[in-house]
Amino acid sequence: MTDKLLSIKNLSVQYKTDLETVCAVNNITFSLKKGETFGLVGETGAGKTTTALTIMRLLPAETGRITEGSIEFTGKLMLDLTEPEMRSIRGEQIAMIFQDPMTSLNPVMSVGDQIAEAMELHNKDNKTKEQIQARVDEVLLMVGIPPSRKFEFPHQFSGGMKQRVVIAMALACEPVLLIADEPTTALDVTIQAQVISMIRNLRDTLGTAMIMITHDLGIVAQTCDNVAVMYAGELVEVGTAADIYTSEDHHPYTTGLFGSIPNLRSKARRLTPITGLMPDPTKLPPGCTFAPRCPKKMDICEDEHPCVWRNGTHLISCHLFAGRENWRKEEA
């Protein structure tokens, strides 16, 4: 494929401290086309944010190590770039929306200045101050904030408004890739719906590719073209939104995730969570990482790490699919 924007191959990331080694991301592979929205779903601690930070090369310098793999972005190998080269990519070509709008804005800088900052840094075509200010007004309008409020400070905005400001900051330089790290987790449901529909509209008008990191399957269904389910640092299931939401075949973890969504129509008095907890990332089980919690566990699951099985666009990493009809082994 020629229109590939981002392609990640066999990426593994570890956090190393004197006491232990945390295997945060293990051997993940996925790619993203221009204008495509890719959902990354999984529970807390699955390695979603680490994946995002790795793409931005913002892992904590002291502990974070990329042990394996490659990241290719618009034909450039990201892991070979120097820090100044990375700086010119960050914010200009890849922008990121952080989880908590309450803390991701600088409290002592007016929001207008914060939006203008990225533009001043990546000012390649020598825009004048007026042009930058005009652009600030423009992006604020785009996210539905009157430009007259740009001199106000973050504490004068509500949570939903702050997240709009954060989105405006990310979009100011018209990035080709937007990484949204749980953009709605800290917001209440009505604001969530507004922000999601806004993100969707903006993506459609600007044609920005997006990685949407979330643990909310509803948001993924609303926004994403392709979806990956992440568990203990691995992608256990990857496919188009249709593969994940309508197909019969699923990784048992995905089935569990869908099973734990509360249903208004059922008379169940209790929720049905996936029993157990995610394995300790410092000592992952030798076989399938989901085996200890898996309702369909077989003997082989505890000893042998499953390989990836493919059916069209749908990829699942589980022993259940060995030898099934239509499912072929994917070469690493």
Partner 1 sequence: MNQVSVDAAAPVIVFRKESRWKEVWRRLKKDRLAMFGLAVISTMIILALLADFIVSYEAALKMNLRLKLAPPSAVHWFGCDGYGRDLFARCLHGARVSLTVGFATSIATLIVGSLLGAMVGYIGGKLDDIVMRALDIFSAIPSTLFAMAVVAAMGSGIVNICIAISLTNIPGFVRIVRSSVLNIAEQEYIEASRAGGTSTLRILLKHVLPNSVGTLIVQTTANVASMILTAATLSFLGLGINPPQPEWGALVSEGKEFLRTAPHLILFPGVMICVASFSMSVLGDGLRDALDPRLRT
C-alpha span between 133 and 112 (Å, rounded): 8
Distance separating the N- and C-terminal Cα atoms of the chain: 18
Helix H segments across 105-156? 111-121, 129-142
Q: Residue 32 Cβ, how far from partner 1 at the closest point, in Å?
A: 18
Interface with partner 1, residue 43, by CB under 8 A: no
Q: Return the structure tokens found at 254.
A: 């995905």
Interface with partner 1, residue 99, by CB under 8 A: yes
Site for partner 1 in 71-90 (CB under 8 A): 87-90
Interface with partner 1, residue 17, by CB under 8 A: no
Interface with partner 1, residue 151, by CB under 8 A: yes
Residue pair 253/236 in contact (Cβ under 8 Å)? The answer is yes
Interface with partner 1, residue 100, by CB under 8 A: yes
Interface with partner 1, residue 61, by CB under 8 A: yes
> How many CA atoms does the CB half-sphere of 287 hold within 13 Å?
15
DSSP-assigned states of every residue in 288-331: -TTGGG-TT--HHHHHS---EEEETTEEEE-GGGTT-TT-EEPP
Pick one of 16, 76, 155, 296: the residue that binds partner 1 (CB under 8 A).
155
Interface with partner 1, residue 92, by CB under 8 A: yes
Percent of residues in the chain assigned helix, strand, coil, to nearest 5: 35, 25, 40
Pick one of 103, 201, 272, 282: the residue that binds partner 1 (CB under 8 A).
103
Pick one of 134, 221, 242, 261: the residue that binds partner 1 (CB under 8 A).
134
Q: Residue 162 Cβ, how far from partner 1 at the closest point, in Å?
A: 11
Interface with partner 1, residue 40, by CB under 8 A: no
Interface with partner 1, residue 174, by CB under 8 A: no
Query: Which residues are within 8 A (CB) of 207 and not within 5 positions of it... i.e. 6 or more apart?
Result: 34, 35
* 34-58 CB burial, b ≥16 within 10 A, e <16: ebbbbbbbbbeebbbbbbbbbbbbe
- Among 15-23, 28-36, 133-141, 206-214, the segment contacting partner 1 (CB under 8 A): 133-141
Interface positions with partner 1 (CB under 8 A) = 56, 58, 61-62, 87-92, 95-96, 98-100, 103-110, 117-118, 121-122, 130, 133-134, 137-138, 141, 146-148, 150-151, 153, 155-156, 166, 169
